[in-house]
Amino acid sequence: MNAKKHVERLGQMRSTRGTTESHWQECLDYAVPRKADITRTHYPGDKRNLHLFDSTAEQANEMLASALYSMLTNLTVIFFELTTGDKFLDDEDDVRVWLKESAETMFHVLNNSNFQTEIHEIYVDLCSIGTACLSMEEDDDLHIRFASRHMGGIYVAENNLGVIDTVYRSFKWKVRQAVQEWGKIEPLEKYMSSQEQDIEILHAVYPRIERDSRMKNPGNMKFASDYILVDSSTLLTSSGYRSFPYAVPRWTKSTGEIYGRSPTMKALPDIKMINEMMKTTISAAQKVMDPPLMVPDDGFILPVDTTPAGLNYYRAGSQDRIQPFGNDARIDFGYQVMDDVRKRIRDAYHINQLQLAQGPQMTATEVNQRTEESMRLIGPVLGRQQPELLRPMIDRLFEILFRKGIIKEPPDVLRGTKVDVQYTSTIAKAQRSTEVQNLLRAFQVASPFIQADPQAMQVYDADEIARWTAGMYGAPTRVIRDKRAIAKMRAEIAKVQQMQMQQEQELRATEGAKNLAPVAAAVKQEMTNGGQGT
């Protein structure tokens, strides 16, 4: 596709997204004012929340974004594993070690990149406007560099399966920045006189329909990457990506729409209402605390002084006095109504499920059970983030690290086998914890029968249970012995036990012989004496 076609397609994408942009602007005005640059332009340092009288939505949006980070991509514990999908193949020692070490290498790279700072902004966008864009570029120092792109300049398209495979990013750079990136190329020559001038650049990433996969040059990579100077519709540079360099997650999506919908959109009527109610309540409270005064039109020297310790003079003998204008406003009732609206807003952001309600005397078991129950309730809401955010990010990271040789070559048994992803985040573990509870209940029910007949315990594979629970809770590979090491250790123990039994048998035989020696001597003596008597 030539540069002119790209610019024409960008115009079409902008026109079809007009209604969505106005919706985004309204959501950001109330939930994330610092990012409210969709249909309006703010100057750096502007105050953006002067129109707000209530911060419930802003706080709830931030809390939900922080919760998503903790539940899905908390970098204090590894939140994903690699698997072949075949549990018997995964259990082979060489395969298990390679899968674990590869996942730990990827996690280490994430920890040492800028992932933490950028992923939080992704969650803020998801909660507020329902769509976010995470850029994942290869980097010489960090191996991979992430960037949360502002949705004001992001335009996307889906393929026939409803998966986003095309991203157009429109942004502005100074002329000098473009020269630093691409040099003094011909399309930039006419702008060289003004280094600080802003120019609009379009970065188009889209799948190549016709390509020769056998050729490894940038022109034959799976995804094309074109930079276009929008003003003159000229191509700046063209290259490609082996894997899609964007993850575009959506909170939820309506049929027929490309961009997502968010909790803020769901709560927007209540958010706007609470803002107006707070403004009215503040005005009413001011009238109660500092009411208008009724002043007689005769006998007082005006103006009236309402400051503390102020003096107001009146004519001697006058019976009139200054008094407040009658105000029977029920400020307390206004706050009660607002509390109800605030609760509805927090419910829209799932705050009640995120905050654990504590009882008077909760045990550790009760806390764990309630936490897991809350996680399971909110789990379906976050299910979309696995295929649209986590999977593209992990696939892109694996592709880069494997190509660089940072991830080791897999065992021969895995040649041609597809490696999949299994999520072990906090919320994934909570959803899978039902299996652990079922196992514990099974043991509790079977306990009386096992006590009556200990051989019934042979039904359960203790080794497999230990490995399964270790994997369920993400135990590191280095603390789990492989099957060969266990077999060798058990063989050595059995050998030692056999030697000990043999020594005990020999000792008993020796002691028995010692004990029989006096008896044999006595019998022999008796037989000798008897012979002599005869």
Distance CA 103, CA 81 (A): 6
Distance CA 246, CA 166 (A): 9
Tens-of-pLDDT digits for all 534 residues of the chain?
A: 789 999 999 999 999 998 899 999 999 999 999 999 999 887 777 888 878 899 999 999 999 999 889 888 988 888 898 999 888 888 888 898 899 899 999 999 999 999 999 999 999 999 999 999 999 999 999 999 999 999 999 999 999 999 999 999 999 999 999 999 998 888 888 888 888 889 999 999 999 887 666 556 667 789 999 999 999 999 999 999 999 999 999 999 988 899 999 999 999 999 999 999 888 888 877 777 777 777 777 777 778 877 877 777 777 776 677 777 766 667 777 778 889 999 999 999 988 777 654 555 666 566 566 666 666 666 667 778 889 999 999 999 999 999 999 999 999 998 888 899 988 776 666 666 667 777 777 878 888 888 888 888 878 888 777 877 776 666 666 677 777 788 888 888 888 888 888 888 888 777 777 776 676 777 667 777 765 554
Question: Per-residue DSSP letters for 375-439?
Answer: HHHHHHHHTTHIIIIIHHHHHHHHHHHHHTT-SPPPPGGGTTPPPEEEE-SHHHHHHHHHHHHHH
Distance CA 281, CA 335 (A): 8
Please tell me whether residue 205 adopts helix, strand or coil conformation.
strand
Q: Where are the beta strands (DSSP E) in 113-265?
A: 134-139, 143-148, 154-158, 164-174, 198-207, 223-229, 234-241, 246-247
Residues 6+ apart with CB under 8 A from 441: none
Question: Per-residue DSSP letters for 234-281?
Answer: EEEEEEEESS--EE--BSB--TT-SS-B-HHHHHHHHHHHHHHHHHHH
Q: Is the pTM of this model over 0.85?
A: no
Domain ranges of the chain: 3-71+115-264, 266-305+320-374, 481-534
